[in-house]
């Protein structure tokens, strides 16, 4: 067997079952539980406008590593040893990157930048090599991606060498470029832009992988809330706030999984333009959902550790802003998936806006309870509306 024929076995076959996540992929996701715990803990311990900006950039970086790896595992057969080994190497690098996260803008800047760059470049080159001799268009597509990853990696490395202000500028530019180049189909000189719909994607698999990442984020929220509840059990409001936090997490699960995730999977699987739909629904569409869950976890931390405080803009931004961002992300995904416009989510966002105004006169625990009620109203409204619509169609 030639090397090219051997590499063809690394690629998912057209007729293979592609809709289910494999065990190596689930194993890989465990790294990001640790990364998200690191990030939310860092935010909760020092939440200012500066640290919020730093965390936003780091969340963008973590998501970009994960979603690009998901695209690769959608195309390659993770049951093959070479692909598994690639995932295990990425796992180890991801753990090191997560360790560096709390000081990514400090003394661990170079470690974070170097590991991030190595993960992005290494994965892209490996995938290009896997397709070489088997699928020329896909191989060239990942060559384009590799070129862009090398270019932005220079910005990450130079940013790590710069002072703090320069680091923010260079890293911000790097992540902005990385998020923008898929929109121009990874255009590079001489090679041009990648043809539309080059890659043979499995939409249902992408939908499931993103749904699993949402579960990871929700699970991280429960873990963080439970840990903080133990630390602040002496407070009179701890149990009530903990119950509120748990209910809000369940409400977010319901809002995402009851209707939206299924419609996104159907849209991605049945479309004639899987790449464009995958970018809209998953690469970009799920980002505010993930950000909103992480920010909600930070807000629940504040509700437990600073339950009696009031008027803190940073606390309000997390307690109210997290659920609002989550609802806005769900609006994006559900509208893109072809669902009816979720008026319930707009009502939830409007309620949260009103809560944010009133929150400056309320203690954090009360603001958190109100935010949970807003999420519950959005979830119940959508549930009742969908039941009525289903009954009307059956009738």
Residue 9 confidence (pLDDT): 67
Beta-sheet strands, E only, within the chain:
none
Question: Torsions phi, psi of 273, nearest 5?
Answer: -125, 70
Mean pLDDT over 132-136 rounds to: 81
CA distance linking residue 199 with residue 21, whole number of Å: 18
CA distance linking residue 356 with residue 340, whole number of Å: 28
Decide if pLDDT at 213 tops 60: yes
Residue 220 confidence (pLDDT): 82
Nearest residue to 61 (alpha-carbon basis) of 291, 292, 310, 318:
291
Residue 389 confidence (pLDDT): 76
Those residues whose C-beta lies under 8 Å from the C-beta of residue 320, and which sit 6 or more positions away, are 299, 352, 355, 356, 359, 367, 371
CA distance linking residue 339 with residue 261, whole number of Å: 11
Mean pLDDT over 99-122 rounds to: 95
> Six-digit token pair at 324?
């609002």
Q: What are the pLDDT digits (tens) for 284-339?
A: 999 999 999 999 988 888 888 887 888 788 888 899 999 999 999 999 999 998 87
Residue 395: CB atoms within 10 A of its CB come to 5
DSSP state of 195: P
Of the chain, the percentage scoring pLDDT greater than 70 comes to: 93
Residue 5 pLDDT class (50, 70, 90 cuts)? low
> Six-digit token pair at 360?
């400056």
Most trustworthy range by pLDDT among 79-83, 196-200, 229-233: 79-83
Of the chain, the percentage scoring pLDDT greater than 90 comes to: 47
Mean pLDDT over 77-96 rounds to: 91
Residue 11 pLDDT class (50, 70, 90 cuts)? confident
Spell 151-183 as b/e; 16+ CB within 10 A means b: ebbebbbebbeeeeeebbebbbebbeebeebbe
Position with higher pLDDT, 101 vs 232: 101
In contact, 186 and 148? CB cutoff 8 Å: yes
Those residues whose C-beta lies under 8 Å from the C-beta of residue 46, and which sit 6 or more positions away, are none
What is the average pLDDT value for the chain, to the nearest integer?
87
Residue 393 pLDDT class (50, 70, 90 cuts)? low
Residue 235 confidence (pLDDT): 62
Mean pLDDT over 178-202 rounds to: 86
Domain-by-domain residue ranges, the chain? Answer: 3-184, 203-390
CA distance linking residue 351 with residue 370, whole number of Å: 9
Residue 32: CB atoms within 10 A of its CB come to 22
Decide if pLDDT at 234 tops 70: no
**What phi-psi label fits residue 190: left (phi over 0), alpha (psi between -120 and 50 degrees) or beta?**
left
Decide if pLDDT at 191 tops 90: no
In contact, 103 and 42? CB cutoff 8 Å: no
Find where tokens 């579960």 sit: 215
Residue 29 pLDDT class (50, 70, 90 cuts)? confident
Residue 242 pLDDT class (50, 70, 90 cuts)? confident
Residue 124 confidence (pLDDT): 96
Burial class of residue 117, CB neighbours in 10 A (0-12, 13-18, 19+): buried
Choose the weakest-confidence range: 159-168, 180-189, 198-207: 198-207
Mean pLDDT over 150-175 rounds to: 96
């Amino acid at each position: 067997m030639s090397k090219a024929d051997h590499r063809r076995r690394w690629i998912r076959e057209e007729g293979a079952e592609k809709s289910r996540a494999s065990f190596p992929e689930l194993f890989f996701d465990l790294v990001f539980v640790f990364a998200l715990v690191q990030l939310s803990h860092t935010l909760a311990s020092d939440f200012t406008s500066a640290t919020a900006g730093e965390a936003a950039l780091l969340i963008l970086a973590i998501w970009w590593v994960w979603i690009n790896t998901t695209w690769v595992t959608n195309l390659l057969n993770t049951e093959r040893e070479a692909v598994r080994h690639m995932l295990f190497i990425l796992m180890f690098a991801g753990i090191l990157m997560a360790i560096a996260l709390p000081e990514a803008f400090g003394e661990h800047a170079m470690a974070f930048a170097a590991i991030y760059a190595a993960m992005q470049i290494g994965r892209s080159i490996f995938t290009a090599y896997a397709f070489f001799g088997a699928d020329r268009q896909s191989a060239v597509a990942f060559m384009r991606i590799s070129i862009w990853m090398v270019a932005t990696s220079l910005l990450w490395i130079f940013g790590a060498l710069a002072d703090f202000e320069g680091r923010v500028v260079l890293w911000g530019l790097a992540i902005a470029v990385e998020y923008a180049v898929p929109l121009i189909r990874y255009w590079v000189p001489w090679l041009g832009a990648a043809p539309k719909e080059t890659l043979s994607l499995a939409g249902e698999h992408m939908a499931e992988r993103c749904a699993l990442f949402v579960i990871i984020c929700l699970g991280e929220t429960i873990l963080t809330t439970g840990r903080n509840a133990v630390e602040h059990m002496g407070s009179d409001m701890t149990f009530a706030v903990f119950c509120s936090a748990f209910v809000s997490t369940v409400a977010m699960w319901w809002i995402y999984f009851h209707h939206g995730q299924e419609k996104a999977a159907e849209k991605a699987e049945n479309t004639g333009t899987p790449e464009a739909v995958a970018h809209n629904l998953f690469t970009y569409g799920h980002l505010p959902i993930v950000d909103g869950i992480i920010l909600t976890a930070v807000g629940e931390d504040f509700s437990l550790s600073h339950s009696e405080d009031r008027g803190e803009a940073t606390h309000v931004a997390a307690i109210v802003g997290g659920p609002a961002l989550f609802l806005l992300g769900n609006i994006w995904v559900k509208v893109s998936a072809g669902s009816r416009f979720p008026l319930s989510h707009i009502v939830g966002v409007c309620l949260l806006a009103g809560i944010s105004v009133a929150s400056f006169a309320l203690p954090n625990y009360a603001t958190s309870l109100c935010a949970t009620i807003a999420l519950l109203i959005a979830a119940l409204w959508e549930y009742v509306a969908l039941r009525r619509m289903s009954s009307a169609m059956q009738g």
